[in-house]
Amino acid sequence: MILTMENFMDKNEMYAHLDSACAAVIDRRDDVISSLANASALIKMYLADTNWVGFYLYKEEKLMLGPFQGAPAVTNIKMGKGVCGSAAENLKTMRIGDVKTCDNYIACDDSSASEIVIPLVKKGRLIGVLDIDSPVPERFDAEDEKGLEKIAASLVRLIYM
Ligand code: SME
């Protein structure tokens, strides 16, 4: 199932609904991989025009592929490398409207045109990143950034780590 914006008044309402869905599905006592697997499925369901939604987890000073929905992807990303590594290193959301113009971009799926990466930070410590790709250029705007940063903050609270 993919929900479209017609299901909601605006993006604000859509992200609030997604946030409630994550809280309903994710149980603090579950393993982190199980929780993030369900989170990636939910985000993919709510966000139209996305071809990859998933997590990279910070382990041994690099990002390792975690639960995701989409095509097979690169398994290890060094800090500072790619959009994911930059977001992780700077602890800052990266929003790329056109991946073709981004020098520091690691291509995984040829159909990706735009991308947003949000760092997951718990008590000041990097846990990983949430990475979302779209086949539509400029798919993610400032409202998506704000909405997804809230989702990322909720996930960090909800997961057992
Ligand atoms: N494009 C990412 C790599 C991961 S894939 O998009 C799933 C990057 O540049 O870090």
> pLDDT tens digit string along 58-99?
999 999 999 999 999 999 999 999 999 999 999 999 999 999
Which residue, judged by its Cα, is nearest atom 5 of ligand 1? 108
pLDDT value of residue 7? 82
Reference 98, options 129, 63, 137, 64; nearest CA is 137
Helix (H) or strand (E) holding 121: strand 114-122
Pocket of ligand 1 contains residue 159 by CB under 6 Å = no
Q: Is the CB of 83 within 6 Å of ligand 1?
A: yes
Q: What tokens appear for 142 in the block? A: 């400032």
> Does any ligand 1 atom lie closer than 6 A to the CB of residue 144?
no
User: Is the pLDDT at 51 greater than 70, yes or no?
Assistant: yes
**For 45-55, what is the mean pLDDT?**
96
Asked if 129 and 56 touch (Cβ cutoff 8 Å), the reply is yes
Percent of all residues in the chain with a pLDDT value above 90, rounded to a whole number: 91
Phi-psi region of 146 (alpha: psi -120 to 50; beta: other; left: phi over 0): alpha
Domain boundaries, the chain: 5-159
Class of domain 5-159: alpha beta
Mean pLDDT across the chain: 95
| Tens digits of residue pLDDT in 5-32 | 678 889 999 999 999 999 999 998 899 9
The answer, yes or no, to whether any atom of ligand 1 lies below 6 A from the CB of 105, is yes
Question: Is residue 120 classed as helix, strand or coil in its secondary structure?
Answer: strand
